[in-house]
A and B are shown apart, each in its own frame.
Chain A
């Protein structure tokens, strides 16, 4: 079992998201994340899907997706150079002044923005890789008891040149 990535071009129609996600639940595939949005062609949506599976299941998932009428193209991103980012908001609550100071430092180290601030809370806006976001969450968890996390799921696009990963 490992995480694998798929980019899926689908018809931008009612019910297509339900159909794709229904495949994962109906066949007990282990969906990790799924994001969707329109593309340069407004009749086409692109999904970025992360799934945890073994090799055989992953092949089967790609085939099952491929045979859906609404699916235009399946791209296996697992071994493709990518740009991949996930949006994440992290709110640290019930902060002391010292806590705030520490959050600022963390923001600096992780190179993320402080998007908002209140009497005893700080909001971080992060646009990192999924893994880096995981690390950030782990760190915040270890330091603060009261945090609120919202994650968007990763979106990915193939690199233009293989060097700029």
Chain B
């Protein structure tokens, strides 16, 4: 018996095991929405903005490993998703985003709320397609889920014209799909892997660089085993943070632009760099000519195109991280790396990541407080200085997940991502570390958090500035604070060089903001109040809590490597 497209749509989601969908209505999706109304298996979450909708789906997907499902209307609904889709694309988060579209016959007419969303998102999705016949609907939805979650995951966009949703057609939803142009790498080249193993075995100063691919591939355990068996120190990228528990004796820290001193020096000094699940983004390598200059490089990645793109490597291996590490673990034998480990530890003593206690409530102390308050749960961050402090100081173990926007660096990501993660994990504490700038980019999601019963804890580091940019102005632009002070008004002098007693008050008052939504607000001005504030926030399970930490405006993220410089050239003080 034939069924309508809208019925098949819901059936497809049910068969894919979708339990939650992040949706925002509009003229071109009212039919599928109406169909969702009639069923109970799938929960529909209504965000307050489509950009946040995508970030919520990202938080959901990253915290569960499942595909995040999104549904928005055509035109502005669709264009509002673009930043989110790009974010998911660069951080390889599996999403299927359905966009409503005007009826097939109107496409091309500049109809009301018609945009070529497939065209607009071509370079920021893994795959995108407009459903042009009712007959293909089932197959395309099946393809979308398959492509989103296999290989290197990513966002897939399916554009659904209104008439397709209404048209009767085949009721069947396919169980599997074969796509002739899409065959993700499933095996691993054992010969290449042997070469890699020989190289590590012969190394005097081997180093593992673990990227986000280790987490995407769920290969943390295998990585730990390899490091432990062969006694190899590990550094991570920002996206790879958590690949090894931060307290692990072989874990040095993050490498890259704001990496730990010992980690960056170790990369510069190692003789074999075993890198896995990273695309050697410029924030990791700095000046390419001086990246790991003494090392032979092994590079394992599931994406062929990530290999030998930025860094020329000696042993390229296309493989899933888990599979490759499992194989290596079969061969792994202990090595003597004692001197090398000691050397690295000495470097770390020389320039450790300090727990600064020199002036009032430092951002480090806030991170320390969060570490002490949570030994399990999910931590999301926004983008800026607070994010870098979090990547430096937040401690992770097997029971903690870290979710951040690495590839695109999307301000406004952290809070909705936390809400999405909390919706997926109601039993886990979810903490969002955010800045006063980025929080304002999506703070309307407080309504979603309340409505969806997602009591997240927002740790807002208020430095009254777009701190990350301010830091650059402070260090490299003669303190010309153009467009970074969030207190600035027309009444301010034109060439302000920093805060003074005459500054206008900060807007908004985040405590009143919390109150307006029925959330809890706690303002923390002194380091002595940190622990109590976090404990209080943990005790609230009825609504989200915003803890506003009033930190100083001139804090810097250090160490720092200026863009384009070699990683060994760190600004330390």
Contact = CB atoms under 8 A, between A and B. Distances in A.
B179 A69 contact: yes
Interface in A56-99: 56, 59-60, 63-64, 66-73
Given A19-B122, A22-B122, 14 more contacts: A10-B181, A15-B122, A15-B129, A18-B119, A22-B123, A23-B123, A26-B123, A56-B312, A60-B305, A63-B305, A66-B305, A69-B126, A69-B181, A70-B181
Contacts of B45: none
B121 to A, nearest CB: 11
Interface in B310-332: 312
A22 B120 CA distance: 11
A164 interface: no
Given A22-B123, A64-B305, A71 B118 contact: no
Contact of A59 (B122, B126, B308): B308
Contacts, number: 44
B180 interface: yes
B127 interface: yes
Interface in B114-148: 118-119, 122-123, 126-127, 129-130, 132, 147
Contacts of B127: 69
* 8 closest residue pairs by CB, A with B: A63-B305, A72-B181, A69-B127, A69-B182, A63-B304, A26-B123, A71-B181, A64-B305
A14 interface: yes
Contact of A14 (B130, B179, B304, B309): B130
Nearest to A26: B123
A4 to B, nearest CB: 17
Contacts of B309: 60, 63
Given A60-B309, A68-B181, A69-B181, A18 B122 contact: yes
Interface in B145-191: 147, 179-182
Contacts of B312: 56
A17 B149 CA distance: 25
Contacts of A22: 122-123
B453 interface: no
A146 to B, nearest CB: 39
B303 interface: yes
Nearest to B182: A69
Contacts of B179: 69
9 contacts: A15-B119, A18-B119, A19-B122, A26-B123, A60-B309, A64-B305, A68-B181, A72-B180, A72-B181
Nearest to B307: A63
Interface residues of A, number: 22
Interface of A: 10-11, 14-15, 18-19, 22-23, 26, 56, 59-60, 63-64, 66-73
Nearest to A59: B308
A66 B304 contact: yes
Contacts of A69: 126-127, 147, 179, 181-182
A71 B181 CA distance: 5
A23 B305 CA distance: 13
A26 B120 CA distance: 12
A18 B305 CA distance: 20
Nearest to B132: A14
A25 B182 CA distance: 23
A56 B310 CA distance: 10
Contact of A15 (B118, B181, B305): B118
A22 B125 CA distance: 13
A135 B177 CA distance: 50
A23 B147 CA distance: 19
Contacts of B304: 63, 66-67
A15 B123 CA distance: 12
A60 B309 CA distance: 6
A59 B306 CA distance: 11
Contacts of B132: 14
Nearest to B126: A69
B152 to A, nearest CB: 8
A10 B179 CA distance: 12
B303 A67 contact: yes
Given A22-B122, A69-B126, A11 B305 contact: no
A10 B180 CA distance: 10
A137 B376 CA distance: 72
Contact of A11 (B122, B130, B181): B181
A18 B120 CA distance: 11
Nearest to B143: A69
Contacts of B147: 69
